[in-house]
Amino acid sequence: MKFSFSREEGKITTFYVHIYLCKYIDWQSMNQYFCSKVQGFFYDFYSKIMSSSNYGRLQGKVAIITGGAAGIGKCAAEKFCSEGAIVIIWDVNYEAGEKTINELKAKGYTAEFFSLNVTQLSAVEAAAKSVVEKYGKIDILINNAGITRDKTLLKMTEEQWRQVIEVNLTGVFNTTKAVVPYMVEKGYGRIINTSSVVALYGNIGQTNYVATKAALIGMTKTWGKELGPKGITVNAVAPGYISTEMITTVPENIINEIKQKTPLRRLGTPEDVANAYLFLASDEASYVNATVLSVDGGMTI
Ligand SMILES: NC(=O)c1ccc[n+]([C@@H]2O[C@H](COP(=O)([O-])OP(=O)(O)OC[C@H]3O[C@@H](n4cnc5c(N)ncnc54)[C@H](O)[C@@H]3O)[C@@H](O)[C@H]2O)c1
């Protein structure tokens, strides 16, 4: 039998069961031996329920999610919180970041927002240091922030090339370089880089974007080799087309074509990708390293 509780549901269920037991069982009138046996039975029973549920798969972990103010990153932030993680969002969009963090806090989660541009190494280093000063460690880094500036090669400007390289490539170098020393110190870490299926197959109009996403796959494999012996796993997720702000510029006829090409006949959702992040960040993926997980509904077979 598989139980499935969110963190909040788990807390509430445990609370009500406890109240029920206190109300109907007269503990005082039982002899001490019998009383401890009954309490032990219920303690084991709760533990089994909670360990067989998805309650707290990231309990006590400190996770940084770049680009966590919107889209896939926002969805991942909520999912990680619901699994017991302390979530730190690094995002350049102040308004969206504040909104997201207020929503998370309203649900009782521990989360923080740093208004931060991943292209600025010194700002990223200062932010990583302050996370460790406050929470003592960084367990998980999700390199999710990314942008597009699409144009075919002949029309692409140097500025468009540079902007995408700065955020999608240098940004990942910066955050990982800033965070890894703290992971090495603890001998534990999970790094997940957000690539894309276009890195594997190319895409018209995305020379800059494809260059960065393909580079992330190379970096994932390199870091998987360098950091594996230090207890840190590094993996990449390669999403297909996911319904977020990022693809609002893609014309409707192209979207329909993509759906037709996808065996599952739909676009992906932010949650589809957030679930892959969660798996790779969890202990269930402790022997998964330097790999690329496609989340594309089979679009690229
Ligand atoms: N949506 C898709 O179809 C798709 C497909 C494949 C890969 N991806 C990748 O998934 C990741 C998330 O994409 P999304 O669809 O959620 O995009 P999104 O545009 O909805 O969200 C991206 C977030 O990154 C933040 N960001 C941008 N530049 C930043 C910077 N310099 N510093 C810090 N934060 C910055 C934005 O403010 C935003 O909150 C990206 O890396 C993207 O390339 C998306």
Asked whether residue 24 is domain-assigned, the answer is yes
One domain, residues 41 and 174: no
Question: How far is residue 5 from each of residues 54, 78, 233, 264, 265, measured CA to CA in Å?
Answer: 6, 15, 28, 28, 30
One domain, residues 148 and 31: no
Nearest residue to 192 via CA among 96, 73, 112 = 73
What is the number of structural domains in the chain? 2
Distance 52 CA to ligand 1 centre (A): 34
Q: How far apart are CA 20 and CA 167, in angstroms?
A: 54
One domain, residues 169 and 189: yes
State which of 117, 144, 294 you would mutate to test the pocket of ligand 1, scoring each by most atoms of that ligand within 8 A of its C-beta.
144
Q: Which residue(s) pair with 113 in the sheet?
A: 89
One domain, residues 74 and 40: no
State which of 65, 79, 92 you would mutate to test the pocket of ligand 1, scoring each by most atoms of that ligand within 8 A of its C-beta.
92
Asked whether residue 245 is domain-assigned, the answer is yes
Backbone angle region of 249, left / alpha / beta, with phi > 0 → left and psi within -120 to 50 → alpha: alpha
Distance 30 CA to ligand 1 centre (A): 60
Q: Which residue(s) pair with 237 in the sheet?
A: 194, 293
Asked whether residue 18 is domain-assigned, the answer is yes
- For 13, the domain range is 7-51
> Is 55 tagged catalytic?
no
Atom of ligand 1 at shortest range from CA of 270: 16
One domain, residues 18 and 86: no
One domain, residues 34 and 145: no
- Per-residue pLDDT 10s for the chain (301 aa) are 334 445 455 555 655 665 565 556 555 555 555 555 655 565 555 555 554 444 699 999 999 999 999 999 999 999 999 999 999 999 999 999 999 999 999 999 999 999 999 999 999 999 999 999 999 999 999 999 999 999 999 999 999 999 999 999 999 999 999 999 999 999 999 999 999 999 999 999 999 999 999 999 999 999 999 999 999 999 999 999 999 999 888 899 999 999 999 999 999 999 999 999 999 999 999 999 999 999 999 998 8
One domain, residues 12 and 84: no
Q: Spell out a b/e string for 234-260, using b for 16 or more CB atoms within 10 Å of the CB, else e.
A: bbbbbbbbbbbebeeeeeeeeeeebee
One domain, residues 84 and 117: yes
One domain, residues 30 and 67: no
Q: Which long-range contacts (CB under 8 A, 24 or more apart) does 9-18 make?
A: 10/50, 10/53, 10/55, 10/56, 14/46, 14/50, 17/46
One domain, residues 129 and 33: no
Nearest residue to 97 via CA among 138, 66, 127 = 66
One domain, residues 93 and 149: yes
Q: Tell how strand 111-115 and strand 232-239 pair up.
A: unpaired
Asked whether residue 270 is domain-assigned, the answer is yes
Q: What are phi and psi of 209, to 5 degrees?
A: -65, -45
Distance 151 CA to ligand 1 centre (A): 18
Asked whether residue 300 is domain-assigned, the answer is no
Asked whether residue 2 is domain-assigned, the answer is no
With a 6 Å cutoff on the Cβ, whether 69 touches ligand 1 is yes
With a 6 Å cutoff on the Cβ, whether 245 touches ligand 1 is yes
Asked whether residue 301 is domain-assigned, the answer is no
Asked whether residue 70 is domain-assigned, the answer is yes
State which of 78, 148, 164, 246 you would mutate to test the pocket of ligand 1, scoring each by most atoms of that ligand within 8 A of its C-beta.
246
With a 6 Å cutoff on the Cβ, whether 76 touches ligand 1 is no
With a 6 Å cutoff on the Cβ, whether 71 touches ligand 1 is yes
pTM of the model: 0.86
From the candidates 109, 209, 241, 277, give the one annotated as an active-site residue: 209
Q: Is the dihedral of CA 173, 174, 177, 182 positive or negative?
A: negative
One domain, residues 73 and 40: no
- What's 266's domain CATH number? 3.40.50.720
